[in-house]
Structure formats: C-alpha cells, structure tokens
Chains A and B, each alone.
Chain A
Amino acid sequence: MNVAGEDQSSQASKAHPDLIVRLRGLTKTYRQGAIEVPAVRGVDLDLARGEFTVLAGPSGSGKTTLLNMVGALDTPTAGTVEVDGQTLDQLSATQLAQMRLQRIGFVFQAYNLIPVLNAFENAEYVMLLQGKTAEMRQRVVSRVLAQVGLADLASRRPAELSGGQQQRVAVARAIASAPALVLADEPTANLDSKSATELIELMHTLNRTEGMTFLISSHDTKIIERARRVIWLEDGKIVSDSAK
C-alpha cells in the first residue's frame, strides 16, 4: 500500500509538481429537509508546498466544510479536489482512508485523541496504520513528542493531560506520519491563550524547520496575524487572498 501510494504521487505530481492542494470550482451543498443550503460555492484555490496558510472567516462561512473536503473526509457536490497530485473524485471509502493515512495529518478542534491509548500510543497510531516498523515508530514518536514538548508525559492517557497538552499530542500525531499536508480545524478554539500561543509557535516552528505545509482554519486573530497567507471566506466564497 505504502509503496503503491508513493508511486501514484510521483506519477500524478508531474502535472502540478509544486502544488500540494489544487481546488477547482469546489462546491458543497447540504440538504436540510427540502431546503438546499450551500456551504461552499465554487472555490478555486492553489496551495504550494511549504506554505503556512490560514483559512479565516466568520462562523458558518464554510471553513470547516472546505477543510473536510481537502482532507478527503467529505465529498464535494461539484468541482475537483487534488491533493499532492491525486484527484480525490471517485475514490472508495477505503481509498480515501488510504489517502488520509499516507498524505494528510489532522489536528481537530476537540483534540479527538483515542481515550484508551496514552500520549505515545496516540502519536504512534497513524504510523502503526502505515505499517512502519517498531524501531522507526519508537524513534520518530520520541522525536515528535520532544518537539511538542511532551517527552516527559508520553505514558499519560488523554484524561490525565490538560487541553493544551492534548492538542500538542494531536499535533504530534499529525506530524509523526510525515504527511504532505497538515490540516488543522480551529486548533486553538478550546485552549486558553497561553496554550494557544504555544501551539501556534509550535506549528510555525515545524513549518520553518521541517518545511511542513499547514492549512489552518481559524478566526483566532493570533493565528491570522502570524500567517504568511490568509484566505478570507464568506458565505462559502473566497473574498480575499493575501500573502505577506
């Protein structure tokens, strides 16, 4: 699986070698009873490798929906999603799972750690699914836990960690699998400002030192201020796209 996945990416990436995300005419409409509610309407967007992009906008502007479609968690009503050169149209549930597993790291608003696993095991989980060797997992997870500053708390279960610590474990989990893209949906929403600042710093450092691509949805001004590129979304449409 792993080998096959890399094959596909190297083939497909010939078309747009420097683009990690390429959206064209992306549209998502939810049905609520008889009424159709458009959440995302015709979004075109390109993200280059190594970018640190924030998707900003008010609640209900379609940030999370857009992020979910980029993350292969949700399927668009119309338009195409290309991630790391791979078009997501018409992939089966298993293939989508494979896509998420190999290319994408997630950080969720509500941490979403697996309660029965400790910090180390949570961070290790995706690598396990990827079929990495025990030796490699040990090495990588120790490193990423150290990077997020939790080397000492590796054996604690989520219930024994603070919110900020849990979210750092989530980041460790997201980056341990060396994804092409890390998606974070309102990662600081449930954190106090100190923890939030620390988390933002952590992500920037990872972006700088590891060259990891981040796409973060947020309306937290602290995040927006520090981003190199900010895309404003309103009513499911891009209203501005500014890079520093």
Chain B
Amino acid sequence: MIWRLAWRSVLRQRRRTLITVIAISLGLALILFSVGMQIDTHQTMIDLGVRMGSGHVAIQAEGYQQHRSLDYLLSGSRRLLAQLRQLSGVRRAIPRLEAAGLVRAGESSAAIAVVGVDPSEEQAVAGLARKSYRRRGRYLSADVRGNRPADIYIGSGLAQTLQVGVGDRVVLTVSPLDDRANSSAAFVVCGIFRTGVTELDSFLVQLPLSAAQQLLSVGDGLTQIAVLLEDGDSARATAARWQARFAAQHGTAMRREILPWQVTHAELYDGLKLDKNFNYLIAGIIFLIIAIGIFNTIQMSVVERTRQFGVMMALGTAPRRMFALVVAEATLIAIVGAIVGLAIGLALHGLMVRYGIDIETMSGGVDSYEFGGVALTGTLHSRLPVPIVALWAAIIVAITLLSGIYPALRATRLRPVSAMRHS
C-alpha cells in the first residue's frame, strides 16, 4: 500500500518529480561520463607507461631502484627470463640494460640514458617501439652485421640537439663496469621517435641489448626485467608474491627487488591519484548540490501535504509508516532518476567508445598531453566496468534516500490536530 501511495504521490507532482529526476539523472550521467573517460585515460596511461618503462612488475637486483648503478646487476638473467615466461599470468618478460652515457655528433653532445633492449621483444611489447611514435626511419634490428656499427634509436629532441638524421653516425661514451676509463663506440641512427615526453625524446636512446652489454662490459647482465602481466591490476599482489617466493628459495644469498609499477612509476601513480581524487572532489560537490536539491524538493512536498499527513495520522497511521511513505517516495524518485541517468550515461559511454574525443581537438592543438611522465596521444575513449557503474548508481540512490530522511522524520513528528489545521 505504501508503494502505491508513494507512486501516486510522486506522479501527482509530475513537474516537480520530473525536475528532481532530471537533476539526479544529469548528475549520474555526468559522473559516469567523466569516470568512464577517466578510467580509460588512466588505463591507457598506465598501459603506455609500463610498456615504455618498467612493466607492471620490475625485477631488479636489490638496491638498483635506489642507486641506479651498474653495481646492481641482475645475474642469471637468461634463466630468469625463461622461468618468468613460463609463469601463468605473465604476458611478456622484457630484458633491459640501462646506463648513463654521453652521445656526440660532430661538435654537439648530450647526456642521455642508454637502454639496451631486445628489439623483437620491444616490438611485440609496443612501448617506445610502437609505430605511432616513429617519425622517421625504422626500429632497431637485432642482427649485428659484421663490423658495421650497430643501430641506435633516438628521440626527436636529441636528433635536433645533435643535428643528426636517419643514417648518421653518433658516438656513445659510457663508463663500463670493468674499468674506470670511459669506453666509446659508434652507432648509426636507424630511426627517430617522438613521444611527447621531453624526458624520453631528448634524453633517452635505445640500442640492441647485445651491443649495450658489450659496450658496458657486463656479459649477459641486465639491470631490469620488466614484466607485463595479463592482469595489470594484480601488480602489487604479484610483486609481493614473487618477492616472498624468491626469498623462500634463495634466502639472503641473492637479493632481488621485485617492485610493482606503483613504485617504479611513482610519479605516474601519484599523478593519476591526484587526478582521480580531484574528480572525486568534484563529483562530491555535484552530489552535494543534488542532495540539497532533492532534500528541498522532498521537504517541500512534505510541508505541502501537512494537512493530508495530519489526516492520515488521525486515521491511525503509525509514525513509522509515515516515515516509510516519505522514504518510499524518495526511493521511487531515486530509482527513476538512476535509471534515466544510467541510460543517458551509458549512451554517452557508448558514443565515447565508438567515436571518442581526439586529444588534439580537446587540448586545442597539442597532439600529446604529458602527465606523470606519460604522454597521452590519439583519441580518448571510455571504459566502464559494471561494478563501477553499479557503485555510482548506488551512491546516487543512497544520497537521494539520505536526503529524504530528515523530511521523513519531520513527517513523523507532525501533530495530527495542528497538521490538519494547516492550509
């Protein structure tokens, strides 16, 4: 009976209900739209970041993260790579050897980070090697052809500083592991990339792993194995599990650090968190305003019906029923609002999935947007996991119900005699 009464009361105030429903659904649709876009943006950035950087989980010799020196080399890397690739949940295991160096061409030089990579692996991973980043030339080739200098893949900023193009030679100077004198070797620029991240475009070069290992005299040493997981969300748990398993197997004899991307890409992680929380802040504000609006509406509808409520109480309706009636009305409005909001929000989501928004259009001419060390390029889409949609719909319903509680309590406190005198 309460539901029937509530439903009719809600329908009787058609205009007011409509306005409230619009407010609720507008809020929900907007939140879903921005959350969907945010999740997609964040996932894309994390994906790009870990592909170019240290993977979902990075395996390093203990101390490397802190000191970044060749003193902390991963030993037995070949076996480790093979083992990792056998593990379920591991999509790719990527060997990397990173060192600092100075690159020269003619009279220009630049200090850079040198990364030795497995070219075929990198192409499969599609990090820095991805085609959309390539401005000129081709990616590294794995085969070292006799005495010819090996390939080097450099960024557009560095190419400009050194005034070099594809096919030009550059000389790389590094401090190798075996002696204190610097060692130099010539390389040929095979291709030039541009990611939009200055740190990479001006300060990073890639070489074939074997050439880098030889230049640095590290044998088959690596500084890092970056692991891409099937499920990126499990990075923390996986890193912790592996660390525990490794410690159990090797004790203190060999120490490794197994770190999730949240640690190796702390800047990205913190930046995304900032962005996410800023969005929550705004969602909170919007919801607060909606809540006040709903509160106002329900409050008005109660005040307006003071007389009717007085009669109902005079006829013997118990206070808790009066309460239930008002809450039921709020629930109906909330559910209708949530359904309409879901429909609009999901339609927007569908449009975003299908068409997306081009970054260049959105940011007025910049083709990439750097944040937390990752440049976002191309088109932004939307991603909305069902639990997230359900969560926000539930939140808006809950907020509506909460907004109804005070007016409902007021309804129970009416005195029938004075309420019936109300006009």
Contact = CB atoms under 8 A, between A and B. Distances in A.
Interface in A120-172: 125-126, 128-129
A97 B308 contact: no
Nearest to B423: A110
B416 A128 contact: no
Interface string B317-358: 111110000000000000000000000000000000000000
Given A114-B308, A115-B12, A173 B315 contact: yes
Given A97-B318, A101-B315, A108-B311, A116 B9 contact: yes
Contacts of B311: 108, 112-114
Interface in B4-20: 5, 8-9, 12
A68 interface: yes
A117 B316 contact: no
A223 B321 CA distance: 36
A204 B191 CA distance: 106
A112 B416 CA distance: 12
B318 A128 contact: no
Interface string B1-40: 1000100110010000000000000000000000000000
B307 interface: yes
A68 B12 CA distance: 30
A94 B320 contact: yes
Nearest to B317: A129
B320 A106 contact: no
A93 interface: yes
Nearest to A97: B318
Contacts of A104: 316
B314 A100 contact: yes
A97 B313 contact: yes
A117 B308 CA distance: 12
Nearest to A179: B316
A34 to B, nearest CB: 20
A187 interface: no
Contacts of B281: none
Interface string A70-93: 010110000000000000000001
B315 A116 contact: no
A9 interface: no
Contacts, number: 62
Nearest to B320: A94
A126 B312 CA distance: 9
A100 B311 CA distance: 11
B420 interface: yes
Contacts of A98: 316, 318
Contacts of B312: 114, 125
Contacts of A106: 314-315
A129 B417 contact: no
Contacts of B307: 112
B252 to A, nearest CB: 70
A117 B320 CA distance: 20
Nearest to B2: A128
B318 A73 contact: no
A104 B9 CA distance: 26
Interface string A15-51: 0000000000000000000000000000000000000
B417 A97 contact: no
A53 interface: no
Interface string B295-317: 00000000000011001111111
A74 B417 contact: yes
Contact of A97 (B9, B317, B420): B317
A66 to B, nearest CB: 12
A188 interface: no
A125 B417 CA distance: 19
Nearest to A94: B318
B308 to A, nearest CB: 6
Given A73-B416, A116-B12, A128 B320 contact: no
Contacts of A117: 5, 8
Q: Which of B8, B12, B318, B320 has the most CB of A within 10 A?
A: B318
A102 interface: yes
Given A115-B308, A116-B5, A126 B12 contact: no
B54 to A, nearest CB: 64
Contacts of B417: 68, 73-74
Contact of B314 (A71, A102, A115): A71
Contacts of B319: 93-94, 97
Nearest to A173: B315
A64 to B, nearest CB: 9
Contacts of A128: 1
A129 B315 CA distance: 9
B318 A125 contact: no
Contacts of A73: 314, 416-417
26 contacts: A73-B314, A73-B416, A74-B417, A93-B319, A94-B318, A94-B319, A94-B320, A97-B319, A98-B316, A98-B318, A100-B314, A106-B314, A108-B420, A112-B307, A112-B420, A114-B5, A114-B311, A114-B312, A116-B5, A116-B8, A116-B9, A125-B312, A125-B315, A129-B316, A129-B317, A173-B315
Leading 10 A-B pairs by shortest Cβ distance: A101-B316, A116-B8, A100-B316, A112-B311, A97-B318, A73-B416, A128-B1, A73-B417, A74-B417, A97-B316
